[in-house]
Copies of this chain bind each other. A is one copy, B any other.
Amino acid sequence: MNGRPNPVSLRVVRAGIDTYQQPVVYMHKDCEVCRSEGFAALTRVQMSVGDKELIATLNVVVDDHLGADVVALSEAAWMAIQPEPGAYAVFHHAEPPRSSAALRAKVFGQRLEDADYLALMQDTVASRLSDIELAAFVTACAGERLDHAETTSLTRAMIAVGQTLDWGEGPTLDKHCVGGLPGNRTTPIVVAIVAALGHRIPKTSSRAITSPAGTADTMEVMTPVELNLAAMRRVVAREGGCVVWGGNVRLSPADDVLIRVERPLDFDSDGQLVASVLSKKAAAGSSHVLIDMPVGPTAKVRSNAAAEALTGRLGSTAAALGLRLAVHRSDGRQPVGFGIGPALEARDVLQVLRGDADAPADLRERALDLTGELLDLVPGSVLGQGRERARETLASGRALAKFYAICEAQGGFTEPTLAGHRAEILALHTGRVATIDNRHLAKVAKLAGAPAAAAAGLITAIRIGDAVRRGDLLYTVHAQTRGELKYALAYARAHPQIISVAREAP
């Protein structure tokens, strides 16, 4: 045992406590392990059950709810270990993670090398770094603190600690939106058109991080998205494209862990963003990638200068990884489509694919712009013809047919339904819509329950520049519970400037 004392073992039981992704173990304060090892609350402990190992955070039980001969595992710890009935666990103090020195160096402003980032990402996916350490890492990489070469190193490390897909000969297309624009749900449309044209586009999407809906959340309203890799391969082999949740495919799993701490902090930095996006794309086996980058004062990218900086960083890392990449800069001043929230965005997507007369024109035009630019990237294409081919494919109904076929292959199509609780937000005076605050509007949708409540969110009725009269509808809030509707309304009413209406000069 390498000089270590004979460990005392504890019987493993399930605590039945959900602590999100961070593994927690519960021991009684008087148990032999706590006493002999000198464990206390928040000690990082290394647990071994058979040949499975896990580092977890200790919470100490000080009353009689737990026996002194057992250890109780939080849901995350239980899932990671999946113990046999009656299994026993032994414990040690967790050694400081190998990447501690690199983390400390980064916090104090030093440049790190490939090997440092690899160690950090290995410790990240093995849950050897606590949430506090991860928060320090994410903060230390924020802003300009990660240079271009470091961004590439981090990206390579994130790719290296997960699996990577290989789709064989020929180009594999992909698109990604850097986010921050509510309702900008072009992916299902782009995938349907591109696949209908015979190209390969195996799209993995994320769930919402800080927004009211991610593409995976929206797609899940219409079809199963939690496919494993074998199922995803079957869909792509049959239909050329898919839209599945990336979480089951374990592409860049480090990214999923980092997002756990980025979510409550509600900030993304350029370096993390590039590493997050491009590690997923490279691991997914993509060769030609289009990035949608909405720019606006309340979008994720707030200015042209910020867009330049992010584009430069994306370009340098993509080049280092051998990816062909184009960035489409788009209007990020206001939402796209009418709906905000998983089901309400799915409704917009279907209206565009179906060619409905009242489909949101802005969503359709943006999807065509993006598809056109992506098609133009493909070797052998005639530059500038992509958009017209996309338009024809959508108008002909072939994109809709392909979308249904993809949904069938993923497990069947379901029509979205609306939520039972609704309330309207009206203009307080007559004038012209001057600005829309995407962030606060997204917040209303989140308070209404999105994305956990799939039908929750809102439907906007106006766009910047529209003339409105006092009492006209600005947007409708949808919620699945009365409590959430009231929360969202209280917030919306406390923030009338979310949609600002400028009085016209007399």
Give me the interface of A with B, judged by CB distance under 8 Å: 2-5, 14-20, 26, 29, 35-38, 40-42, 44, 59-65, 74-75, 93, 96, 100, 104, 107-109, 130-133, 135-136, 138-140, 142-145, 261, 264-267, 269, 447, 449, 452-453, 481-484, 486-487, 489-490, 493-494
Contacts and interface: CB of A to CB of B under 8 A. Distances in A.
A65 to B, nearest CB: 6
B42 A483 contact: no
Contacts of A131: 131-132, 135
Contacts of A100: 266
A75 to B, nearest CB: 6
Across chains A and B, which 5 residue pairs bring their CB atoms closest together, nearest first? A16-B63, A3-B490, A36-B483, A135-B135, A139-B139
Contacts of A14: 63
A144 B35 CA distance: 41
Nearest to A136: B139
A109 B144 contact: yes
Contact of A19 (B59, B63, B143, B452): B59
B142 A5 contact: no
Interface centre among A17, A29, A62, A267 (most CB of B within 10 A): A17
Contacts of A38: 449, 452-453, 481, 483-484
A5 B482 contact: yes
Contacts of A265: 107, 132-133, 136
Contact of A17 (B62, B135, B453): B62
B264 A130 contact: yes
A44 B20 CA distance: 13
Contacts of A267: 104, 107-108
A139 B490 contact: no
Contacts of A104: 266-267
A57 B41 CA distance: 16
Nearest to A130: B264
A207 B361 CA distance: 64
A250 B148 CA distance: 46
Contacts of A139: 107, 135-136, 139-140
A61 B65 CA distance: 14
Given A2-B490, A140-B139, A449-B38, A17 B109 contact: no
Contacts of A37: 483-484, 487
Given A109-B143, A109-B144, A487-B4, A60 B17 contact: yes
Nearest to A264: B132
Contacts of A133: 135, 264-265
A144 B107 CA distance: 11
A62 B18 contact: yes
B481 A35 contact: yes
Contact of A5 (B44, B264, B486, B493): B486
A253 B235 CA distance: 58
A344 to B, nearest CB: 17
A65 B65 contact: yes
Contacts of A136: 135-136, 138-139, 265
Contacts of A144: 109
Nearest to A132: B135
A482 B8 CA distance: 13
